[in-house]
Amino acid sequence: MKTNRKTYFFCGIGGSGMSSIAQVLNHNGHEILGSDRNFDQNKGLAARDLLLSLGIKLFPQNGSGLCSTIDELIVSTAVEDSIPDVQQAKLKNIPIVKRAQILAEIFNESSCGIAVGGTSGKSTVTGMIGHILMHSGKNPTVINGAEMLNSNSSEYSGSVYCNDGDLTVIEADESDGTIEYYRPDIGVITNISLDHKSLDELNELFKNFSKNSTNATVLNFDCPESRKLLKLNQNFTSFSVKNYEADIVAESIKFNDSSIEFNVKEHAFTLNLTGDFNLENALAAIAACSTYGISLSDCAKALTTFSGIKRRLQNLGCVNGVTVIDDFAHNPEKIAATLKTLKRFQKRLLVMFQPHGYAPAHLAKDGLIKAFSNTLDGNDFLVMPNIFYSGGTADKKISSTELINAIKSKGINAEHISDRNQIENCFLSQVDSGDIIVIMGARDDTLTDFATSILRKL
């Protein structure tokens, strides 16, 4: 997709979602500039160096990069008016555009688009669809919100595939309501559950998303909220792990230690990931790709080589019999799914979960308490540091201590420890061979560094 050349400035360009869009626009011939406070603090230097290698110009996040030649300032919903870049853009009358708006512009201009929405599994399903389409020679542009481990490009980050065709696959976020911007040929709804917004709000958003999907909507038949959308006068492709009324159904399912085997319409599939949720993710991707016209046999061949998504139940390694898992789970459904999968191995879990913001933690309070208390047992150990706070005017009406006390009252061994060094020492002092250490949480890029540090010291 080549359009009239523009100059874009990305405020917060280091984030995976923002970086992906910036790289695609750069690939399409636009001039890209940007800033990121992490770069100013000498963090995320690999991401910084990659952007510089593409010819993207970076500036301190102090407004100095905002010149009159810039056509648009691109910001995420997390960027506040107090940031100097935003203030300078307003002074210079530079249009300020949300990340989702520019993503929708790129996506809606493509000849064919597949958008993946839903409460859980979006990044994995987006990665799976992109991998199947790449494997099938379709060369899609893929804009994901997380790093795809199959990406072997030395030029671009793992969260994006830059190609020159007119097929585009994106992860479509519903957390800020912007999912309604997209006009997909095929819209995928992985599931609908409480996260960021109330169920009533989410159902309305996904209903409109489904209506905007011009060719078909791929729906999770096993999700009660998703299934309600079947009543709309639309074309649907449904998937299920248990209901033969669906179009794509998994049969002869076998869960191994590190893989899942199953059949779809007598085609044998092997997925080298584990977890019930990854089986659902695979079925969503198969449904979307078969709707697009990819054969089930080609889907099966491609998924055999799919490696997964960074921080989605990612096994960082095993040292002295101790496995370290890095996981993005942050809402009750995702947390429960991850822990249930790991408990299948019948090993003790040492879990650190960092809540990812005061508003989400308050909204999901009861669900978080239930997720941990229903999945962990008396041998496991849960630690929560303080709620992750990235600045702004958040209402701090909940704390990790409040969550921990409620979970402890359910009989779970749990503590609030604010200092990461203390958490690391706590884990290292009591871990035994055969245990699994799990680092969970969203938004904070340093969680992977923390997990890796623990692995090195085992």
Contacts 24+ apart (CB under 8 A), 266-271: 267/296, 267/297, 267/299, 267/300, 268/300, 269/299, 269/300, 269/303, 269/304, 270/300, 270/303, 270/304, 271/303, 271/304, 271/306
d(CA 219, CA 238): 5
Which of 7-11, 158-162, 298-302, 358-362 is predicted least confidently?
358-362
Query: What is the pLDDT at residue 194?
Result: 61
- Please count the structural domains in the chain: 3
Which of 41-45, 78-82, 216-220 is predicted least confidently?
78-82
Answer with the one of 31, 64, 99 that is the final residue of a domain.
99
More confident site: 158 or 278: 278
In a shared domain, residues 252 and 339: no
Query: What is the pLDDT at residue 128?
Result: 97
In a shared domain, residues 51 and 150: no
Q: CB under 8 Å to 136, separation ≥6 — which residues?
A: 289, 294, 298, 302
Q: What is the pLDDT of residues 166-214, one digit of tens each?
A: 899 999 876 666 788 899 999 999 988 765 566 777 878 888 888 999 9
Answer with the one of 279, 303, 327 that is the final residue of a domain.
303
Per DSSP bridges, beta strands 251-255 and 260-264 are antiparallel
Mean pLDDT of 221-232: 87
Q: Is position 381 within any domain?
A: yes
d(CA 24, CA 291): 26
Distances (CA, A) of 42 to 34, 39, 208, 457: 15, 5, 42, 24
Rounded to 5 degrees, φ, ψ at 175 are -65, -30
In a shared domain, residues 247 and 221: yes
Percent of the chain with pLDDT over 90: 66
At 256, is the pLDDT very low, low, confident or very high (cuts 50, 70, 90)? confident
In a shared domain, residues 286 and 420: no
What is the C-alpha end-to-end distance of the chain, expressed in Å?
48
Residue in the structure block whose two tokens are 């819209």: 187
Answer with the one of 99, 132, 149 that is the final residue of a domain.
99
Query: What is the pLDDT at residue 171?
Result: 93
Percent of the chain with pLDDT over 70: 95
At 80, is the pLDDT very low, low, confident or very high (cuts 50, 70, 90)? confident
Q: Is the pLDDT of residue 96 over 70?
A: yes
Q: Is position 89 within any domain?
A: yes
Q: Which CATH number is 402's domain given?
A: 3.90.190.20
Q: Is the pLDDT of residue 232 over 80?
A: no
Query: What is the pLDDT at residue 334?
Result: 86
Q: Is position 1 within any domain?
A: no
In a shared domain, residues 136 and 277: yes
Query: What is the pLDDT at residue 181?
Result: 87
In a shared domain, residues 132 and 263: yes
Q: Which CATH number is 68's domain given?
A: 3.40.50.720
Q: What is the pLDDT of residues 309-355, one digit of tens each?
A: 998 899 999 999 999 999 988 889 889 989 999 998 889 999 999 99
Mean pLDDT of 419-425: 95
Query: What is the pLDDT at residue 282?
Result: 97
Query: What is the pLDDT at residue 103?
Result: 93
In a shared domain, residues 132 and 276: yes
Q: Is position 309 within any domain?
A: no
In a shared domain, residues 221 and 296: yes
Query: 310 and 147 in contact (C-beta within 8 Å)?
Result: yes
Q: What is the pLDDT of residues 383-392, one digit of tens each?
A: 999 988 766 5
Q: Is the pLDDT of residue 371 over 90?
A: yes
The mean pLDDT value of the chain amounts to 90
Mean pLDDT of 247-276: 93
Query: What is the pLDDT at residue 85?
Result: 94
d(CA 103, CA 10): 13
In a shared domain, residues 198 and 61: no
Q: Which CATH number is 242's domain given?
A: 3.40.1190.10
Q: Is position 197 within any domain?
A: yes
Mean pLDDT of 152-167: 81
Query: What is the pLDDT at residue 203?
Result: 79
Q: CB under 8 Å to 29, separation ≥6 — which residues?
A: 2, 5
- Beta strands across the sheet bearing 160-161: 160-161, 141-143, 167-171, 112-117, 186-189, 216-220, 236-240, 248-249
In a shared domain, residues 88 and 122: no
Q: Is position 308 within any domain?
A: no
Range of the domain at 383: 314-457
In a shared domain, residues 299 and 351: no
Q: Is position 66 within any domain?
A: yes
Q: Is position 104 within any domain?
A: no
In a shared domain, residues 202 and 83: no
Mean pLDDT of 87-98: 94
Mean pLDDT of 440-444: 88
